[in-house]
Amino acid sequence: MSRRGNCWDNAVAESFFSSLKKERIKKRIYKTRDLARTDVFAYIESFYNRTRQHSHLGGVSPDAFERASK
């Protein structure tokens, strides 16, 4: 973080939360906070971090990128 109010400091976090909202949260209605918490955790751990294609990795998933680099 460089200085107060610099929008570029939060670019990575803003990008992640934008993806989370578009791909998961806006498509669902949660009955309880615990269900929401569990669903967001599953999205991050099983989809976003493993199988979702990332532009930074050349359009491949992190798992595929790791397999290709071995």
pLDDT at residue 14 in the model: 85
pLDDT digits (tens, 9 = 90+) for 5-52: 666 677 778 888 998 999 889 889 999 999 999 999 998 888 877 777
Q: 54 forms bridges with which residues in the sheet?
A: 60
**Within 10 Å of residue 4's Cβ, how many Cβ atoms?**
6
Q: Are 47 and 63 in contact (CB under 8 A)?
A: no
pLDDT band at 3 (very low <50, low <70, confident <90, very high): low
